[in-house]
Amino acid sequence: MARHSFLRTVCTLSFLLTGALAHMQMEVPSPLRDPHSSLDGPKDYNILTPLHGDGSDFTCKGYQWNTPLISVETYEAGGTYQLKLKGGATHGGGSCQIALSCDNGINFKVLKSIIGGCPIQKEYEFTIPPSAQSAQCLLAWTWFNKIGNREMYMNCAVVEIVGKPASSEEQLGDIDSPDMSNAAQTALAGLPDLFVANLDGVNNCKTKETVDADFDDPGADVLYGADTDGSSLKARAIGGQCT
C-alpha cells in the first residue's frame, strides 16, 4: 500500500508540474517574481498561471504592491524594443497586448496589440511613445488564449523610461517621485486602455473559445496573426467583442 501511495503521489505531482508548465510567461523583460530571475526577493513558481477569475489579483497579480520594484530594463522614448516569451503550450494561440503603466499598475495604456497567433511567435517588437516622460513604470504582457478555459494571463515587469520631462522643475525631481509618475502617466493619455476580459470582478466581458479576441480599441500598432488555415485575420476583424 505504501508503494502504491508513493506512486500515486509521484504521478499527481508530475501532473501538476506538467499543467503548470503548459502555459506561457514573459521572459524579457523579466517580470515581477520571475522564478528564473537572479534578483533577490520573492519568487512565483506558478508564474505561468492566469489571473484569478474573480479579478482579485488584477493587475499584475498584485505583485507591484508587495514586491521590491527593481527595474530590469531601460527604454528610451521613441525607441523600439523586443518582448520575448517562453513556455510550453500556446493553447491554439490567441490575442495579446503589450501595455505600459506609470502609476503602479492602476491604469495600463496599450503600446501594441497582436490579434491572432499570439503567443505562437515568441518575440514581438513594441515602441515606447516619443512623448513618454522619464519615470519608473510597469510594462505588461497580457494574453487571451484561443483554446481552453476563458482566462486572462498577465505578467508585469518594472522598467525605467527615459524621456524628456514636462518641465524644468520635474527635470530636477526624482524619477520615482509621485509627481514624475503622474506626469508620465498623463503623457500616455492618448493611448487606448488595456483590454480586460474573463475577470468577473472587473467587468462582464467574456472572450469566446476558438475565436481570437478582437480588441475594442487595439491602437495604432497592430499585428494581425494567421489563423490555423494560414489566412490573415485582418480581413475578418470584427471591431471588438465587448464594446
Taking only the tens place, the pLDDT of each residue in 40-98 is 999 999 999 999 999 999 999 999 999 999 999 999 999 999 999 998 778 788 999 99
Per-residue pLDDT for 164 more than 80? no
CA distance 26 to 242: 26
Residues 110-130: what's their mean pLDDT?
Answer: 95
Q: How many whole angstroms from its chain centre is CA 167? A: 31
Which pLDDT does position 30 carry in this prediction?
Answer: 98
* pLDDT given for residue 8 in this prediction: 42
Q: What pLDDT is stored for residue 13 in this prediction?
A: 38
* Residue 121 clears pLDDT 50, i.e. is over it: yes
- 225 pLDDT tier (thresholds 50, 70, 90): confident
C-alpha cell read off for 159: 522598467
Region label for 137, one of left (φ > 0), alpha (ψ between -120 and 50) or beta (otherwise): beta
CA distance 25 to 187: 28
Mean pLDDT of 163-174: 59
Higher pLDDT, residue 18 or 164: 164
Mean pLDDT of 156-181: 71
Identity (one letter) of the amino acid at 136? Q
The CATH architecture one would assign to domain 24-165+175-232 is Distorted Sandwich (2.70)
